[in-house]
C-alpha cells in the first residue's frame, strides 16, 4: 500500500527516482513522547520533528559553514554542494551537485531527514523534494548584518542546535559591539570613503541593505555605494568619481591575494578616470578572500575587526589589541 501511495503522489517524477524514493524512504524517524516542533519557511514549507534531524543535506556553502559552526559534523551533515569547502572537514561530506544544478538522485541516496535550501537553488528541484516527502527548509541568507545572525538562529532552531547557535551569536555580537564602540565617535571627515565592487564594467557595488554596507559603516568607513538604488546594483563611474573613493575593497580567489592586488593596482594606474580620485593617486587596498565575503555566515562578521584595523589602526594601537 505504501508503494502505491508513493507512486500516486509522485507521478510526475522519473520512474527511477520513484523507485529510489520508495526503497530509501525519507530517512530515519526517531520516536519520542515529546510534542512535535513545527517550522515554516518563507516558501511555506513545513518541517516537523520530535527529535532533531540526524541526516542533513545542505545546498548552500554559507549554510554548510553555519551547520559546522553550530557544532554539526560529518555524521550529521551527510550531503553538500561541490562548492562547500569550509571548514576543511566539509570537504569530506559527499557531494550532491552544485547550487543551481543539484542532483535529485544524489540527495535521495543520502537519505536525508532535512534538506536546507536557499536562494539560487532551483525552485523546481525544491518542489520535487517536497513531492517525495523529503523535509525541506528554505533560508533567506541575503540582507543586512542582522540577517546573518538571524540565519544562524534559524538554522540552529530547525536543526535542534539552539544552544550552540546562541553561543555563536553571542560571540559574533560581541565582535560587532567591540568594533562599533571603537568607531562610534569618529567624525565624518575621519571616515575613509570606501568603494567595494567592480573597478571596470558596470561598476556593480554594495548598496544600502547589504551586509557589506553594514561592515563598512561599522568599521568606521563611508560607503561610496550608499547612494546605490539597491543592495547590489551598478553605479555610474561619474558618481563614483564625484564621491572620490580613498579605499578600495575587493576580493581574491584562486589567483591569490598578491596577483589580485597587482591586477587592481594596474587598473588604477592605467585608467584615466581613476587617476582623478584619491584612490587612484594614493591607492589603499583591502582585499578579502571571495569565499569569506560572498558567503553570509560567521566569517563575514569575523572579518570586521580586520577591516576596521585597516581603516583605523590608531583605534587599536592604544590598547595593543
- The predicted-structure confidence for 283-300, as pLDDT tens digits, reads as follows 999 999 999 999 999 999
The string of DSSP codes covering 208-274 is: TTSHHHHHHHHTT-EEGGGGSSSSEEE--HHHHHHH--SEEEEEE-TT-HHHHHHHHHHHHHH-TTG
Could you give all domains of the chain from N- to C-terminal order, each with its CATH number?
A: 26-141 (3.40.50.1980), 185-317 (3.40.50.1980)
**229-236: average pLDDT:** 93
Extended beta strands in 89-241, E state: 114-118, 136-139, 193-196, 204-206, 222-223, 232-234
Q: CA 148, CA 169: separation in Å to the nearest integer? A: 9
> Can you give the pLDDT at residue 321?
52
Residue 150 has a pLDDT of 94
Total residue length of the chain: 321
Say if CB 28 and CB 135 are below 8 A apart: no
Nine-digit cell string for 298: 560567521
- Residue 183 CA to residue 316 CA, distance in Å, equals 11
Instruction: Identify the band that residue 316 occupies on the pLDDT scale cut at 50, 70 and 90.
Output: confident
Give per-residue pLDDT as tens, 247-285: 999 999 988 999 999 999 999 998 889 988 999 999 999
Task: State pTM to two decimals.
Answer: 0.86
Percent residues over pLDDT 70 in the chain? 88
* Mean pLDDT (whole number) for 223-243: 94
Are 69 and 96 in contact by the 8 Å Cβ rule? The answer is no
User: What's the pLDDT at 42?
Assistant: 85
- The pLDDT tens digits of the residues spanning 74-131 come to 999 999 999 999 999 999 999 999 999 999 999 999 999 999 999 889 999 999 999 9
Share of the chain above pLDDT 90, in %: 77
Q: What is the pLDDT of residue 21?
A: 45
Mean pLDDT of 14-20: 45
Residue 293 · residue 300 · CB < 8 Å: yes
Residue 252 in contact with residue 259, Cβ under 8 Å? yes
For helices 162-183 and 145-158, angle between their N-to-C axes, nearest 10 degrees: 170
Q: Is residue 81 within 8 Å of 59, Cβ to Cβ? A: yes
Coil, helix or strand at residue 58: strand
Helix (H) or strand (E) holding 177: helix 162-183
pLDDT of residue 178: 95
Amino acid at each position: 500500500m505504501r508503494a502505491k501511495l508513493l507512486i500516486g503522489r509522485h507521478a510526475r517524477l522519473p520512474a527511477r527516482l520513484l523507485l529510489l524514493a520508495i526503497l530509501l524512504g525519507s530517512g530515519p524517524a526517531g520516536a519520542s513522547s515529546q510534542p512535535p516542533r513545527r517550522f515554516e519557511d518563507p516558501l511555506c514549507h513545513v518541517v516537523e520533528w520530535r527529535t532533531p534531524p540526524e541526516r542533513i543535506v545542505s545546498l548552500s556553502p554559507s549554510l554548510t559553514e553555519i551547520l559546522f559552526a553550530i557544532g554539526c559534523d560529518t555524521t550529521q551533515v551527510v550531503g553538500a554542494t561541490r562548492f562547500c569547502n569550509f571548514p576543511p572537514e566539509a570537504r569530506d561530506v559527499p557531494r550532491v551537485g552544485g547550487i543551481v544544478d543539484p542532483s535529485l538522485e544524489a540527495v535521495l541516496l543520502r537519505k536525508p531527514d532535512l534538506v536546507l535550501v536557499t536562494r539560487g537553488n532551483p525552485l523546481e528541484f525544491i518542489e520535487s523534494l517536497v513531492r517525495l516527502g523529503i523535509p525541506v527548509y528554505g533560508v533567506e541568507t541575503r540582507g543586512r548584518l542582522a540577517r546573518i545572525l538571524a540565519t544562524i538562529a534559524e538554522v540552529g532552531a530547525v536543526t535542534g542546535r539552539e544552544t550552540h547557535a546562541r553561543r555563536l551569536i553571542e560571540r559574533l555580537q560581541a565582535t560587532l559591539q567591540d568594533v562599533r564602540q571603537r568607531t562610534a565617535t569618529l567624525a565624518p571627515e575621519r571616515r575613509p570613503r570606501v568603494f567595494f565592487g567592480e573597478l571596470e564594467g558596470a561598476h556593480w557595488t554594495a548598496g544600502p541593505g547589504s551586509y557589506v554596507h553594514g561592515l563598512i559603516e561599522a568599521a568606521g568607513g563611508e560607503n561610496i555605494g550608499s547612494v546605490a538604488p539597491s543592495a547590489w546594483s551598478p553605479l555610474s563611474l561619474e558618481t563614483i568619481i564625484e564621491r572620490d573613493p580613498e579605499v578600495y575593497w575587493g576580493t581574491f580567489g584562486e589567483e591569490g591575494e598578491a596577483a589580485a592586488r597587482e591586477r587592481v593596482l594596474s587598473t588604477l594606474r592605467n585608467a584615466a578616470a581613476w587617476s582623478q580620485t584619491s584612490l587612484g593617486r594614493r591607492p589603499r587596498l583591502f582585499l578579502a578572500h571571495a569565499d569569506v565575503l560572498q558567503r553570509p555566515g560567521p566569517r563575514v562578521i569575523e572579518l570586521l575587526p580586520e577591516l576596521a584595523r585597516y581603516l583605523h589602526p590608531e583605534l587599536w594601537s592604544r590598547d595593543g589589541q
